[in-house]
Amino acid sequence: MNGYKERHHKSHKSHKSSKHSHKDKDRHSSKHSSSSSKDKHRSSSKHSSSSSKDKDKHRSSKHHSSSSKHRHSSSSHKVKEERAEVKQEPVSPIKMKMDEDDIPLSARMVKTEKKRPCYAEDDDDEDDAPLSVRVDQAKKSPSSAKKRKMDDDDFMSSPKKKKTPLAKKVKSETKPTPTTPKKGKEKDPALQEDKWEWWKDEGLAEGCKWRYLQHMGPYFAPEYEPLPDHVRFYYDGKPVKLSPEAEEVAVFYGRMIDHDYTTQEVFNDNFLKDWRKVMNSKEKELLRDLRKCNFNEINDYFKLKSEERKAMSKEGKLEIKKQNEEIVKQYGFCVIDHHRQKIGNFRIEPPGLFRGRGDHPKRGMLKKRIMPEDVIINCSKDSPIPKPPPGHKWKEVRHDNTVTWLCSWTENIQGSIKYVMLNAASKLKGEKDFNKYETARKLYKCVDKIRAQYREDWKSKEMRIRQRAVAMYFIDKLALRAGNEKDEDTADTVGCCSIRVEHIKLHEKLDDKEYVVEFDFLGKDSIRYYNRVAVEKRVFKNLQIFMENKSPGDDLFDRLNTAILNKHLQSLMEGLTAKVFRTFNASRTLQEQLKLLTDEDDNVPGKMLSYNRANRAVAILCNHQRAVPKNFSQQMENLQGKIDAKRDAVKDAKRDYKASKADYKASRSITNQKNVEKKKKALDRAQEMLHKLEVQQTDKDENKEIALGTSKLNYLDPRISVAWCKKFDVPIEKIYNKTQREKFAWAIDMAEEDYEF
């Protein structure tokens, strides 16, 4: 657990225990009538009756420490202050330039309703529905427009190549800033998806995700390889030969012993419990105390293996690479509506120990090996059904084209379903992404009205409406997540609707500000959200009312949950949900900050700095943090060392320069004059390098615990960035790497420099 991102096990405990305690109360009083879960109880007590206030009281618990006193590093303060700055003001509306007509064709592919599968057979008559592939292929070669059943060989070898280079006319590529392929890295077409400008096609019928889907099924984790005899496990100082089943699980743990997880009691307890389940009776009898287990040789063995891999010859490495590529070629792609598309995660998750984040009560449990018999395959009826590994069969094969997944299985830790789905650059994902940003833009058009409405609702006579209105204000102003209710057996984290009294503090006055709300809670992934925000008086007063007669463990918004909230939002704008506000505010912030920060006279690095700062403002708004990188302080020290050395060098250079000038003054020879010039140049160079290092240092420090990637990938309408690049002549490669350019190909093609979110 390094750095700022303490995942607060302690604070967490306080939450948890409070939860437990009131849950226990609940059990004693009301339970048994209904099924079981605390959540059930929770939500029913929350919204069902008019006496919910009383119920709240009853639900509340003796709260020892309300939330923990968190330990702040100085830089984390910095982050917070900065966040406060960025977050304070609600985004001011900017006039929209684009009107409905500017919205490209695919924008009309909006919301889809879940419908009965529309099987390929249903549309076998080629002429009616405009199947995208057909459009493409008809353009290129009428004969290939016929739906084609591909056999395995056909599928696995090379995809039907698109014939026309026309399709590749992505506007940004007309700029003279091509990404030159690296030497020795010739592109293997079998390792690429075909370019499919799906946004120029017409969409499928509502609810229909594909017409044809063919794939090879998932790639299973390699079988367990028993340890060589010389690698031993010890119990109580004596070597013990484990059964293969027990050994495999021991290896999961042994490989992790350097990790912080193995110092956690919950992790260790869960591990031991599950480990014992796979032991034979003799092992069960003997191995009872984890503290007496010695996994060191196992750990060393895998470290050594990793070293060996690193030290392998070039040829050896190449061989492995080839083998991997072969797997990707076979399993990494599917054919969907006659286009070859990359799959996102075609490998079945290997067995191991569950790495739940934060105070997850199930961390350390054994994640079981998934077998073909656990896997459901989803593909076209008329496609070759993927073959299960020899001697096995699939759990089920279905043909449901109202969903986008290729394979699914149920994992044993939480009982949730896992899916194999397409890569982010695929049509299926891209289209969804596009629609997401369109919905956010739609919100922009009516956000003023919505804001006016919720402000009005702060005065409502009805508590539920006031709560809803204040929650909306938080979601809008602070970009909080919706905050669903959670199961008991997960980490105790919250979002807007599930915030508890203990998570906020009210200050009539704090420093020089009035009506300050201090938030302190653990959000998604147990990342701490800490913020002090000056709010409007009415919000403040409402919060005081919401908190009256409640205990720290009670819900702040006891008359609200995400379903109620989203239902209301839906009534305000079609497609509006809580998370749209996050997308909307993030994209708006980027656009605003770019306008504010970009200087068109700057050089490219200068503009990039502006871009990154705008990106950073969004990351702060959305509270995207990361653990301080490993060796961060060491790296900073090294950098400081370099800077110090460079400073000395600058000093020396200055001295040399002065000396050369003195020499020249004494004797004005050509040599001396040249020497002066030379020394001047050296000085300039040294100064420039010093400056560069100093900027690097600032940058590194500022980015210490902020993650930029998440917002870039998920929240920022890529057309804003593309337009910015075009407007300010910054090559797109500067802001998006290859993968990102693939994901945002639609935006790169669509957006012109005057695009407005």
- Of the candidates 478, 454, 589, 598, which has an alpha carbon nearest to the alpha carbon of residue 535? 478
Name the residue nearer to DNA (CB basis): 662 or 695. Answer: 695
Name the residue nearer to DNA (CB basis): 221 or 506. Answer: 221
Query: In whole angstroms, what is the distance from residue 609 CA to residue 123 CA?
Result: 52
- Label residue 711 left, alpha or beta by phi (over 0 means left) and psi (-120 to 50 means alpha): alpha
Query: What's the start-to-end Cα distance of the chain, in Å?
Result: 39
Query: In whole angstroms, what is the distance from residue 76 CA to residue 575 CA?
Result: 36
- Of the candidates 85, 95, 38, 35, which has an alpha carbon nearest to the alpha carbon of residue 61? 38
Judge whether 715 counts as a catalytic residue.
yes
Closest contact distance (angstroms) between CB of 151 and DNA is 27
Write down the catalytic residue from 219, 253, 454, 715: 715
Closest contact distance (angstroms) between CB of 165 and DNA is 23
Closest contact distance (angstroms) between CB of 4 and DNA is 9
Name the residue nearer to DNA (CB basis): 121 or 319. Answer: 319
Element (H, E) at 727: helix 718-728
Name the residue nearer to DNA (CB basis): 286 or 573. Answer: 573
Query: In whole angstroms, what is the distance from residue 465 CA to residue 453 CA?
Result: 11
Name the residue nearer to DNA (CB basis): 18 or 623. Answer: 623
- Of the candidates 327, 119, 303, 142, which has an alpha carbon nearest to the alpha carbon of residue 219? 327
Query: In whole angstroms, what is the distance from residue 696 CA to residue 457 CA?
Result: 48
| 160 contact partners, CB below 8 Å, separation of at least 6 | 144, 148, 194, 338, 340
Number of Cα atoms under 13 Å in the Cβ half of residue 284: 9
Closest contact distance (angstroms) between CB of 286 and DNA is 29
Name the residue nearer to DNA (CB basis): 672 or 710. Answer: 710
Closest contact distance (angstroms) between CB of 583 and DNA is 6
Closest contact distance (angstroms) between CB of 756 and DNA is 21
Closest contact distance (angstroms) between CB of 142 and DNA is 32
Closest contact distance (angstroms) between CB of 569 and DNA is 8
Name the residue nearer to DNA (CB basis): 29 or 671. Answer: 29
| 562 contact partners, CB below 8 Å, separation of at least 6 | 482, 483, 484, 485, 497, 578
Structure tokens at 177: 């800033």
Residue type, 497: C
Query: In whole angstroms, what is the distance from residue 597 CA to residue 660 CA?
Result: 42
Closest contact distance (angstroms) between CB of 526 and DNA is 6
Name the residue nearer to DNA (CB basis): 540 or 715. Answer: 715
Residue keyed to tokens 């905050």: 483
Name the residue nearer to DNA (CB basis): 35 or 281. Answer: 35
Is the distance from CB of 560 to CB of 460 less than 8 angstroms?
Answer: no
Number of Cα atoms under 13 Å in the Cβ half of residue 195: 15
Is the distance from CB of 661 to CB of 683 less than 8 angstroms?
Answer: no
Name the residue nearer to DNA (CB basis): 244 or 350. Answer: 350
Closest contact distance (angstroms) between CB of 411 and DNA is 6
Helices (H), 511-561: 537-547
Query: In whole angstroms, what is the distance from residue 243 CA to residue 320 CA?
Result: 30
| 420 contact partners, CB below 8 Å, separation of at least 6 | 218, 343, 344, 345, 346, 405, 406, 407, 408
> What's the per-residue H, E or C state across 13-37?
HHHHHHHHHHHHHHHHHCCCCCCCC
Taking the CA atoms of residue 504, residue 508, residue 513 and residue 518 in that order, the dihedral angle to the nearest 10 degrees is -10
| 50 contact partners, CB below 8 Å, separation of at least 6 | none
- Which amino acids are annotated catalytic? 715
